[in-house]
Structure 1
Amino acid sequence: MRPFSLRVFVPSGDPTGVLIATRDDGIGKATIFSRALLGEVKGRKEWNLPGVYLLVGPSRLYIGEGDPVGKRLEDHAAKKTFWERALFFTAETRLNKAHIQHLESKLVKLAQEAGVVTLDNGNNPQTPALGEEEYAFVENVLADLLLMLPLLGYPQFEASQTAVASVDEESEAPNASATGKRRAVYSALPRGLVFHSTSKDARATIETVDGGVLLKAGSTVAREPAPSFDVWMPKYAQLRRQLIESGVIAAEGGQLVVKQDQFFSSASGAATVVRGVSSNADGWISEDGKSLGDLLRQWKQKTP
């Protein structure tokens, strides 16, 4: 999270009219309007750009994409009657067809996960294949958009933030002092302690080593991370992709299998990659039923 300003421009001077919202450090703009003002929005240049859009009714939501976005909105004005307000997001010269398809897919999954309103979409759009740089770019756009939406009166994705935003005290630390303290705690643990984690299609084992843990070869990790994983845990989402691309984690027999031991500086980091959702050290359990999270807290109290 970083501070930002959100600027809302009212082209007509009427606060109930069309609104144009931009972030001070953003790359695009959101156009917000009521159904009755569709004709007025048609005259704006954003109407003819690629974009992702939301149609909102009293208890329903539809998410879509269009290139240009205006044509899709015009179709929905004739065929969908539930919506009262709409928002579409565009970025001139910056968003292409693959980008907006990615945004649509992620927003649909996030809305499903949040469960705040009934989703009117009849299918689950898939994310297109993107290169590493393009993927990072559009995920940053998505993260910025998700910060804008609640401020603009679109809270339909907020539940997903609460569900995965908390990270335990043993997660990746924000500064060198805390990182050093965490390393000292792990280094103080006896070497060779073994812990297991089981969740859905993930069955994993870690072993304590100097300064962290080893995720053991033969462990399996979740095939699909949580829909909000890339948004709220981008560091671990990127690490997970790197491990898959490098072959450390590989598909085998319908599962994702760890092919060689992999070091993590925290048990929570290993758990987050394994499960594909924000996790902590409490999910690692020894053969005698003890939690690594409890053990870490005990040793943390002893470590100056």
Structure 2
Amino acid sequence: MRPFTLRIFLPSGDPSGVLVATRDDGIGKAIIFPRALLGEVKGRKEWNLLGVYLLVGQSKLYIGEGDPAGKRLEDHATKKTFWDKALFFTADNRLNKAHIQHLEARLIKLASGAIAITLDNGNQPQVPALGEEEYAFAENVLADLLLMLPLLGITQFVSPVTATDEIASEESSSGEVAVGRRAGIYSSLPRGMLFSGTHKEANATLEIVEGGVWLKKGSTVVREPVPSFETYCAGYAQMRRQLLESGVIADLNGKLTLTEDQFFSSASAAACVMRGINSNADNWISADKKNLGDLLRALKQKNN
């Protein structure tokens, strides 16, 4: 996360009326309005732009996209009765149809795992195929939007990242570790030490090697990461996609299996790819029940 400023503009001067929110370092804008002011919002230029939108009720949420977004919102004003507040997000020409469809699909998937909310969507749209750079761009927009939503009163999206899930066993208090120092810590462990890790259908073996670890050939990984994985573990999600595209991870006998040993600079990275959820070195256990996270922390204390 990085510091940012959220600007709220009130076109009518009424705090309970239409709000226009923009980030100082982001793109696009969010328009938030109560259902009763739908007619007022129709006069704004954003009404005729493509965008993604949320219809928010007391215990129900609907997520959609439209080109233009306004036409879809107008349809829902007569067909859906549960919502009392709406938000739609547009970005002039910065976002295309595929970007908006990506945001819709990802938001629906995230909302499906949220707490105390009923998702009114009847289906889960597929994330459109995007190139690597376009995918990263769309995910960055999504991450920025998710940080904005709670500040705008949209609290239905619950981050699953908790203190027990944080990747902290190998990280400094600031979350940064010099590559050379981390490699040195792994090089201090006996070569060839083996650890196992399991999660759902995944069953993997980890080996300590010079400067890092190998996720061993024949290890299996989860087929479906948690819905929040792409957002809160974007780097590891990208790493996982690259391994799938290159065939290092392949579907063998109905399981996603490593076809060769794969090097990782940290055990937490290997755990995230294997488990499809924010993870750390504590998830790797040796045959004599030693926890790799404990071993790494002991080495760090010894070296400090």
Q: TM-score range by the shorter chain?
A: over 0.9
Distance 2:164 2:30 in 1: 26
2:284 corresponds to which letter in structure 1?
A: W
- 1:287 alignment counterpart: 287
Distance 2:226 2:141 in 1: 19
Whether the 8 Å CA contact 2:169–2:282 is kept in 1: the answer is no
Matched, 1:246 2:243: no
Q: CA offsets, 1:120-168, max 9 Å, x none?
A: 1122222111111110110000000001001111111134344897212
TM-score (norm 1): 0.94
SS in 2 for 1:158: coil
Judge which range, 289-298 or 36-45, deviates more: 289-298
Distance 2:65 2:163 in 1: 26
Whether the 8 Å CA contact 1:171–1:269 is kept in 2: the answer is no
- Following TM superposition, by how much is the alpha carbon of 1:300 offset from its aligned partner in structure 2, in angstroms? 2.5
- 1:210 alignment counterpart: 210
Matched, 1:89 2:89: yes
Judge which range, 97-106 or 113-122, deviates more: 113-122
- 1:100 alignment counterpart: 100
Judge which range, 244-253 or 190-199, deviates more: 244-253
Distance 1:150 1:201 in 2: 34
Counting only pairs closer than 5 Å after superposition, residues 59-70 of structure 1 correspond to structure 2 as: 59-70=59-70
CA change 1:164–1:141 in 2 (3 A) is farther
- 1:263 alignment counterpart: 263
Whether the 8 Å CA contact 1:164–1:232 is kept in 2: the answer is no
- Following TM superposition, by how much is the alpha carbon of 1:171 offset from its aligned partner in structure 2, in angstroms? 4.9
- Following TM superposition, by how much is the alpha carbon of 1:16 offset from its aligned partner in structure 2, in angstroms? 1.5
SS in 2 for 1:256: strand
Distance 1:254 1:93 in 2: 42
Matched, 1:196 2:196: yes
Counting only pairs closer than 5 Å after superposition, residues 51-130 of structure 1 correspond to structure 2 as: 51-130=51-130
SS in 1 for 2:107: helix
- 1:186 alignment counterpart: 186
CA change 1:97–1:137 in 2 (3 A) is same
Whether the 8 Å CA contact 2:115–2:158 is kept in 1: the answer is no
Q: CA offsets, 1:234-261, max 9 Å, x none?
A: 1111111111222211222222211111
- 1:11 alignment counterpart: 11
Distance 1:74 1:279 in 2: 43
Judge which range, 46-55 or 160-169, deviates more: 160-169
Q: CA offsets, 1:57-94, max 9 Å, x none?
A: 11111111111111111111001111000000011112
Distance 2:133 2:126 in 1: 19
SS in 2 for 1:82: coil
Whether the 8 Å CA contact 2:169–2:297 is kept in 1: the answer is no
SS in 2 for 1:46: helix
Question: What is the aligned-residue RMSD (CA, Å)?
Answer: 1.8
Distance 1:277 1:243 in 2: 16
Distance 1:128 1:165 in 2: 29
Whether the 8 Å CA contact 2:161–2:278 is kept in 1: the answer is no
2:92 corresponds to which letter in structure 1?
A: E
Whether the 8 Å CA contact 2:165–2:280 is kept in 1: the answer is no
- 1:137 alignment counterpart: 137
Matched, 1:48 2:42: no
Distance 2:140 2:165 in 1: 16
SS in 2 for 1:288: coil
SS in 1 for 2:277: coil
Distance 2:155 2:224 in 1: 25
Q: Give the share of equivalent positions with the same residue, in percent.
A: 69
CA change 1:11–1:98 in 2 (3 A) is same
Distance 2:171 2:123 in 1: 36
Whether the 8 Å CA contact 1:109–1:227 is kept in 2: the answer is yes
Whether the 8 Å CA contact 2:55–2:86 is kept in 1: the answer is yes
| Count of matched residue pairs | 303
Matched, 1:24 2:30: no
Distance 1:101 1:157 in 2: 18
Distance 1:209 1:147 in 2: 38
2:43 corresponds to which letter in structure 1?
A: G
SS in 1 for 2:279: coil
Matched, 1:225 2:225: yes
Whether the 8 Å CA contact 2:237–2:273 is kept in 1: the answer is yes
Distance 2:17 2:164 in 1: 36
| Structure 1 unaligned spans of 5+ | none
- Following TM superposition, by how much is the alpha carbon of 1:183 offset from its aligned partner in structure 2, in angstroms? 2.1
TM-score (norm 2): 0.94
SS in 2 for 1:108: helix
Q: CA offsets, 1:180-203, max 9 Å, x none?
A: 332222111111011111111211
